[in-house]
Amino acid sequence: MRVLFLACLSPKTGNCTTAERIRNHIVAAGHTCVLCDTREFNSASDVSSLMTQEPRFEAALAIHLFKGGRLLLDAGVPFGVVFGGTDVNEDVKDEHKRAVMEEVLRKARFLASATALMSGKVWNCSEMKAVECSYRGVPHYHNPVNAEIGLFAFFYMLNVSTHLLYLSLTCRFAVAFTDALKEQAQALLVCESKKICVQPQGIETKVALHFSWSDFLHSTGVRTKQVDNLHVFLLVCGLRRVKDPLYLLEAFAEWHSQNPLVVLIIIGPVIDPVFTAEVEESVKRSVGVFLAAELCQEELHAAMQKSFALVNSSLSEGMSAAILEAMELGLPVLARDVPGNAAIVEHKVTGLLYSSPQEFVSMSRKLLDDSELQERLVRNGKNYIATCHNTVKERITYQKLVETLH
């Protein structure tokens, strides 16, 4: 089967990494998967024109319901969408974008949405055949509305209330495998029945063998003769407002003035140039906080492995790949307490969740002084990734889901 796959392919971003990994899963099943940047298309008609060219595409996928899904409305083939955090955390607030997303969902034969803490099956609602995928991760809702189009959408978040708009419009079937989520669904969703299952992101890390930690620190502006005693808190994010990388700046600068061996390094690709300029100016005026140039994936993983802790300060999240990668690399995680982060970070078990800059500093001080806490978070984090974010299981599920688009 020849599959068109649309995604925002900004280099060195989570979306790009996820798209490439999913494409590899599809190709490994013997299909042809052509990955294209959504920014290459102005409208659904552009994609429709592409679909008429030889050799023909027989199915399509997209990451993000609005950015990608809207382009597939006139594709004329079965398609699937991978939901990201932006869809339900940001785009739903825009009336126009919400209307477009509703149109996509109204055309769905089945809908698979994702959250954490669930396990179960993916259902092809037109044939009632179950596809096994029993892992902890993200639940999937399915809806048989149009037998011509298959849509599976992975929401990557725990907050069920953010799913209401979509599911109340489209979901006829779902199966809950935890009582808590089942009760939430029954109370909040206008659906006769529901089918819910899970599929977390698979996580793969690879560390650059010849990465120079001292050169990296020097390039960011860190100047110290005590490199071995330095405690680097690494904040990995694309530079845009929703990631809120300046949230901790003042509190961390004050802590650094008391303890010069703690530093915060912000690293990630430029997504919003205007906001990036603001970040650069703010960092220049601060002490103990630095801005690093983006790295390739393997070098980033090497930098993460050398750091003391991974930091997330986002206003909202879907499912942070950086957090999951840090856990696999054996790095303690300190994440802002928002629903997307709380879905994958269990406080004081696999990481630490903070609700204010002051609480972040307090928890960080505790982490520095408590080696037992460090070891427990690292051990539990690695076990969580091995159990719940296995790429082999992810590959099996994606391959079976793609088969339902025949």
d(C-alpha 377, C-alpha 99), whole Å: 42
| Total residue length of the chain | 406
Bridge partner list, 142 = 173
pLDDT at 162: 40
Two structure tokens written together for 248: 């901790």
pLDDT digits 0-9 by tens, 168-216: 332 222 222 223 333 443 443 333 334 344 567 889 899 999 999 999 9
pTM over the 0.85 mark: no
d(C-alpha 65, C-alpha 58), whole Å: 20
Task: Give the helix ranges, DSSP H, for 259-390.
Answer: 273-284, 297-306, 321-329, 339-342, 357-369, 371-388
Q: Which residues contact 34 (CB under 8 A, 6 or more apart)?
A: 2, 3, 4, 5, 57
Q: Are 62 and 38 in contact (CB under 8 A)?
A: yes
pLDDT at 220: 95
d(C-alpha 36, C-alpha 56), whole Å: 15
pLDDT at 104: 63
pLDDT at 103: 65
d(C-alpha 394, C-alpha 400), whole Å: 10
pLDDT at 7: 86
CA distance readout (Å), 70 to 21, 84, 162: 22, 14, 20
Sign of the dihedral defined by the CA atoms of residues 221, 332, 155, 191, in that order: negative
Q: Low-confidence residues of the chain, pLDDT below 70?
A: 12, 83-94, 98, 100-199
pLDDT at 83: 66
Cα 224 → chain centroid: 35
Select from 387, 384, 343, 394 the least CA-distant residue to 133.
Answer: 394
Task: Assign 262 to helix, strand or coil.
Answer: strand
Task: Give the helix ranges, DSSP H, for 198-355.
Answer: 213-220, 249-258, 273-284, 297-306, 321-329, 339-342
pLDDT digits 0-9 by tens, 97-138: 767 666 665 554 444 444 433 333 333 333 323 333 333 333
